[in-house]
Amino acid sequence: MRSIACIIALLFLLFSSLTGCFSAKEEPQQIPSPQVGGPSSATGLIINVPEISKVETINVPGNVGPGQRVFINETETLVDAGGNFNAQVKLVPGQNPITVKVVSSDNKSIYTTVKNVNYTPSNDPALSVIIPSSYSSETETLIIKGTTDPGCQIDVNGNRSLPDEKGNFIVSVPLEKGDNIVKVVSTNPKGKTSTVQQVVNFNKLNNKQPTLVVSSPEPTKDGYVSTDKINVSGFTEPNNLIEIYNNYYNGDTNVKSLIFKGNLKNGQFSVNVTLSKEGGGVNDLLIVATNEFGGSTSETRTVIYKEPPK
């Protein structure tokens, strides 16, 4: 009887254990609720939102920490690998709340901030034009190109133009040497204006070659002279630069020697040159005149020094 009782007790315990296994319920995993505002792992937000705008659509650029997501006015914005983002937001006249939410990389926390932008529509015409700060040309005219709203009138330093049907315009402006104020004004039919102004430094180019007349030494048939000193003289325009070189051979070496260099107020020059006896006494003289615009003119004279017989 004891054996039977023991067996019954063991069976009862085994049945109770199995029943407990089947009746046990698995507890659901707790997911923490996102935290809004305050301390959060969704940090590192840098954002640039203007307080006032005169345009209907603005850019909202910013940067967040690695792996975080950004929502602007409940619309997710693309974030690059460096955490940079740039969203466009369309405004309505008046105050516009812009809500920025940053979700942490583990989706367990949210940081929220709200920026307000006051949009005041502008009636001024659009005006896009590029004016150089410096300009060099042979002609004293600068061509200005740009765009504005169709139907506007363009005025550039008193020179007026009407844009085409797309708002494109081209205006020529006379310039003087040195600094010039170039002012572009676009006026719409309602009398509203937009202005772009720039100081332009104008440098006039001149490709004219300077005059150069070498009166001495005059070219000779054989080029022989019996004196080791000659005079190189002539004239050019006032204030031009004159350079005189002597090219000769010293043994096997070609020597280029600068004899004279200077600016001439009256344009006349007269320089004494000592000839070389080396290389058979052959002296190739080079005379160069250069004006203020960089234009140059040159003349050559070949003089052969031959010592007189003793």
Statement: residue 168 has pLDDT above 90: yes
CATH code for the part of the protein at 127-204: 2.60.40.10
Task: Give residue 8's pLDDT band: very low, low, confident or very high (50, 70, 90).
Answer: low
Which is more confident, 177 or 37? 177
d(CA 240, CA 265): 8
Contacts (Cβ under 8 Å, ≥6 apart) of 61:
47, 48, 84, 85, 86, 87
**DSSP element (H, E) containing 304:** strand 296-305
Strand pairing partners for 134? 201
Q: What pLDDT, on a 0 to 100 scale, did the predictor assign at position 71?
A: 95
Query: According to the model, what pLDDT value does residue 186 have?
Result: 94
> pLDDT of 85-103, one tens digit each?
999 999 998 999 999 999 9
Residue 2 has pLDDT above 90, yes or no: no
Q: Is the pLDDT of residue 237 over 50?
A: yes
CA dist., res. 69 & res. 62, Å (int):
12
**pLDDT one-digit tens code per residue, 49-73:** 888 887 788 889 999 988 999 999 9
pLDDT in tens, 101-142: 999 988 889 999 999 999 888 888 888 898 998 898 878 899
Q: Are 142 and 130 in contact (CB under 8 A)?
A: no
Same topology, domains 127-204 and 212-305? Answer is yes
Q: Is the pLDDT of residue 241 over 60?
A: yes
Q: Would you say 165 and 191 are in contact if contact means Cβ atoms under 8 Å apart?
A: no
- pLDDT recorded at residue 108: 87
- Residue 22's pLDDT is 42
What is the reported pTM?
Answer: 0.40
Q: Which fold has domain 212-305?
A: Immunoglobulin-like (2.60.40)
Per-domain boundaries in the chain: 46-119, 127-204, 212-305
Residue 112, number of CB atoms within 10 A of its CB: 17
Cα 189 from chain centroid? 35
Q: Does the domain formed by 46-119 have CATH 3.90.1150.10?
A: no
* pLDDT of res. 39: 36
pLDDT at site 44: 78
